[in-house]
């Protein structure tokens, strides 16, 4: 799709040499098609919709609006795809484990997969609930590359969780790193041995704070080839 769009713009520039007015009309038409993709256009535009890769941020239960807005503005820089906030979902009741008093992240991934309608959308769930997988005490997030879904929890990214003073800017940075990490997995990327790379496995919050929100050179190349597929 990206190359098709580039080709259309190239054609527009040729037309523009002949007539600026005509090129403006064509450009506006093109932009309106792209816009309607994101809103889920129908009819003839459907073919454009289904070929447009995008990331949808899905709040699961009540989620901090500031963090949601921050991710919406920052994630397009890392992934070069459209990012929007999708319809909120409620937490599936059977995700709660009463003994652990935590929520099963794999159950959330299932719910995201079941709720998504456009296969070209990559859904990233965001929740304030504390998440786990059976083999670990907790997880900051989880991803399913086959289903193109991922989820992150803000619970343990908050300073308040450790009885420290709230720090919204720090929360935003941590959420961005975890979101990029899990989305990276959803594109098929594995863990990295470079502690600065966003794909480094965070065993603790200190690991998250130490790494950057960026991919190392190798992972950047791997992501770029995954985005072209």
- Residue with Cβ nearer Zn ion (74 or 182): 182
Per-residue x/- mask for Zn ion, residues 124 to 163, rule CB under 5 A?
----------------------------------------
Residue 116, strand partner residues: none
Q: How far is the CB of 186 from Zn ion (least distance, A)?
A: 11
Does residue 15 touch Zn ion according to CB under 5 A? no
Does residue 216 touch Zn ion according to CB under 5 A? yes
- Residue with Cβ nearer Zn ion (83 or 223): 223
Q: How far is the CB of 219 from Zn ion (least distance, A)?
A: 4
Buried b (16+ CB within 10 A) or exposed e, 51-84: ebbbbbbbbbeebbeebbebbeebbeebbebbbe
- Find out whether 51 and 81 touch, Cβ atoms under 8 Å: no
Q: How far is the CB of 77 from Zn ion (least distance, A)?
A: 17
**Quick one: which of 75, 70, 84 has its CA closest to 37?**
84
Is residue 4 annotated as part of the catalytic site, yes or no?
no
- Find out whether 37 and 48 touch, Cβ atoms under 8 Å: yes
Scanning 20-28, 34-42, 73-81, 199-207 for contacts with Zn ion by CB under 5 A, the matching segment is 199-207
Secondary structure letter of residue 156 according to DSSP: G
Does residue 219 touch Zn ion according to CB under 5 A? yes
Cα–Cα distances in angstroms (integers) from residue 163 to residues 122, 156, 158, 159, 169, in the given order = 34, 11, 9, 7, 17
* Given the residues 182, 217, 218, 222, the one annotated as active site: 182
How many Cβ atoms sit within 10 Å of the Cβ of residue 24?
13
Tell me, rounded to whole angstroms, the distance of Cα 22 from its chain centroid.
37
Does residue 197 touch Zn ion according to CB under 5 A? yes
Per-residue x/- mask for Zn ion, residues 176 to 195, rule CB under 5 A?
----------------x---
Q: How far is the CB of 152 from Zn ion (least distance, A)?
A: 11
CA 97-102-104 angle, to 5 degrees, is: 70
Q: How far is the CB of 150 from Zn ion (least distance, A)?
A: 10
- Residue with Cβ nearer Zn ion (100 or 221): 221
- Residues with catalytic function: 182
By CB under 5 A, name the binding residues for Zn ion: 192, 197, 199, 216, 219
């Amino acid at each position: 799709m990206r190359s098709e769009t580039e080709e259309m713009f190239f054609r527009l520039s040729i037309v523009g040499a002949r007539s600026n007015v005509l090129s403006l009309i064509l450009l506006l038409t093109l932009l309106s098609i792209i816009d309607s993709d994101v809103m889920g256009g129908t009819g003839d535009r459907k073919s454009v919709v289904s070929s447009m890769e995008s990331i949808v941020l899905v709040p699961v239960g009540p989620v901090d609006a500031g963090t949601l807005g921050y991710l919406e503005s920052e994630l397009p820089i890392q992934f070069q795809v459209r990012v929007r906030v999708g319809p909120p979902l409620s937490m599936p009741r059977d995700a709660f484990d009463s003994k652990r008093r935590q929520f099963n992240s794999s159950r959330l991934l299932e719910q995201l997969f079941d709720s998504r309608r456009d296969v070209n959308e990559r859904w990233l769930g965001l929740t304030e609930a504390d998440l786990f997988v059976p083999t670990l005490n907790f997880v900051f997030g989880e991803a399913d590359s086959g289903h193109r879904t991922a989820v992150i929890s803000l619970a343990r990214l908050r300073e308040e969780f450790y009885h420290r003073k709230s720090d919204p800017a720090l929360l935003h940075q941590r959420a961005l790193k975890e979101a990029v990490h899990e989305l990276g997995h959803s594109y098929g990327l594995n863990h990295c041995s470079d502690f600065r790379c966003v794909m480094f496995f965070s065993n603790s919050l200190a690991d998250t704070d130490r790494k950057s929100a960026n991919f190392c050179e190798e992972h950047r190349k791997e992501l770029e080839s995954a985005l072209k597929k």
